[in-house]
Structure 1
Amino acid sequence: MRRAPKRITSFDVAREAGVSQTTVSFVLNDTQGQTIPEETRRRVLDAAKRLDYRPRASARSLAAGRSDVVLLALPGVPISTNLSRFIEQFAGALAEHGLSLVTHLAEGHGRPLPDLCAAVDASAVVSLIPFDEATAEALHRAGAEVVLGAGKQATAELQEIGRIQARHITSLRRENLGYALPGEHSSEWRVQERLRGVAAVCAEQGLAEPIALEVELDAAKAAVAVDQWVRASVTGVCAYNDETAMAVLAGMHLRGLRAPDDLAVIGVGDVAAAQVSIPALSTIGFDYAEQGRESAQAVAALLGIAVGDPAAAVDVLARPRLILRASA
C-alpha cells in the first residue's frame, strides 16, 4: 500500500497542453458552439491521455477534502453467506466513520476499476484479491488516497488455511492426499495459494504432492473425481471450500464410500449447510464479522479519520480455525 500521489486535475491537463482550463473543459466536455482549432483540441486530448486523466463527478466530500466513498472490489465469485456477513459488517463499521461502501465485481465484464473509482469519486479502494502495480497506480491517478489490496499477509493466510487442512488430515495417518478444486466461480489466486499450503505440508512430511482434481457441484461428475482418487490410493481430501467438499461427499455416496472411513474430507468456510451434510463436514472457519469491522478500522486509519496504526492494519488476518465434525 502506498499513499496517493497528487491526483491529476484539469489544471494539470491545461498546463501540459499549454492552454487554459476553460479550453480543457470545452474540449473534454465536447461543448457545442466553441470554435477551438483542431490542433488545439488534439493537443488537449493527447495531454489528457498522457496524464491518464479521468474526469471526476462528486457532489459530496468530507471536511478533509475527500469523498466519503470506499470502493470494495470483489472477486468474481458468488456472494456466499460468509462473504455477505463480511460486507455487511464492513459497510456498517465504515458508516460509523462517516464512510459509504460501493461494491464492484472486479473480475466481471464491466467498466475498468480505475474508471469506476473516478466515476464514484472513491477516496479508498479495497480488494479481496491482489492489485498489480499498474492497477494500483491507475487507481491512485483516478483519485484514490488509499489503495488496499490483498498482500503478503493475505497470501500467508490463504496458505495457512491449506496447511491447517493438510496437518489435520495427515494427523489421521492419511498419507496420500487429494485436493478438490472448485469447478467454477472461483478466484484462481485464492485457489492456488490454498493448494500451495497443502502441498507445503506434504513436502515437509516427505509425502507425495496432493492430487488436485476439479470437482463440480454435481454428484455424478464429482464421483468421477472420487474414482480417480481411489485408483491413486488417496485416503484424504482437502477441498477449496465447503461446497466443493460436500460435492465430494455426494460423489462418494454414489460410489458407496463413506467419510472418513474411505476418504477423510475437510472443507473451508463453515457454511450453515456444513453442519447438516452427511456426514457433518469438518472445515476451517473464520470470524467474518470481526474481519469486516477490523478492515473498516484499517481503512479509516489510513484515511486519517480514526485512531489506529495504519501500518499495522494494512492486511487484516481472518484467523482461520479448525472445526472438527464427522467427515475427518
Structure 2
Amino acid sequence: MDFEILLANLTNPTLLFFVLGILATLLKSDLEIPKPSTKFISLYLLFAIGFRGGQELAHSDFNSEILFSVLFGLALAALVPLYTFFILKRRMSISDAGAVAATYGSVSAVTFVATASFLEAQQLTFGGHMVAVMALMESPAIIVGVILMRQYEAALPEHPDAPPRQSLKSIVLHSFTNGSVLLILGSLLIGLIADTKQAEGIKPFTTDIFKGFLAIFLLEMGMVTAQRFSAFKNYGFFLPLFAILVPAFNGILTAFLSGFITADIGNRLIFSILAASASYIAVPAAMQMAAPKANPGLYIPMALGLTFPFNITIGLPLYFEIIQRF
C-alpha cells in the first residue's frame, strides 16, 4: 500500500473531525450538535451529491458501460446479503441474521460522500451515473434480507404477541420512499433535467461549502460511533471480526471485478466502497417494519462503529492501491 496516500487520508481534515467526535465522547465532553442541524446537514449532503451526479450524467452519453454499471451494482446488492446471511445465521437468530445481512448488502451514502472527497484529493473524478448506482443499491439488499427471513422463519411457530408481518410490497415501497433514497434519486433527476445555466446559480451551494458541511457531519458521526460502540462488544469477537473482514473482502473482490465493467479508476473505487459499506440509515428504517424482532443494537453499531471507520481510514487507500495495480 502507498503509505503517503494512507497518511494523506488519515490527515484529511474531514476525517480528523470524525476522530475529534470520538475523543469528545470518550472524554465525556458536553460538545453537542443540535439534532435539527444534523438532520439538515445529512439532507444537504444527499442533495448535493445527487444534484452534482445528475449534472454529470446530463453531460454524458448513455452507453453500455452505464447499463452494465447499474446491473453490476444491483448484482452486488443482491449477492452480498445472500452469502452473508448463511454465515450469520449460524451464530444469530434468523431475524438478526437477515437484518445484518441486509445492512451489509445495502450501502452508506456518507461513505460514498467521503469517497468522493478522497477522489477529489487525488485529483480524480467519477461518473455521474455512479450516484444512480448507489441509490439503486439501497433496496435490493433489503428485499433479499426480507425474503430470506420470511423463508427461514416460515417453519417457526408464531409468537402470539408478535406484530403482524408487513407485506413484501409494502417493504419494497418503503425502501424506495425512504427519505434518504427519495432525496438522492430526486436530486439526481432534477440535476439531470435542470437547465445548465440555471444550475450554475446553485453551484456554490452544492460544491464550495460541501467539505465544510461534511466535516461537521463526520464530527457528529464520531460522537454517535463512540456512544454506540459498547452496544455489541459483549457479543465476543465474531461480530467485530465480521464488521471488518467481510467489508474488506467485498471491497477487495469488487476492486478486481470492477475492472471488467469499467477502466475508470474513480468508478472502480466507488464500486469497491459501495460493496464494502454498510447502511445505517435506510436499512434500520426498513427493518423497523420488516423485522421488528431484530436487534438494532447489533446491526447499527456494527455498521457505524466499525465498518464505517474502517472504510474511510484503511479501506479507501487499500482498495485504491489494488485498483491502481490491477
Same fold (TM over 0.5): no
* Bigger Cα Rg: 1
Structure number with the bigger relative contact order (C-alpha 8 A, sep ≥ 6) is 2
Higher helix share goes to which structure?
Answer: 2
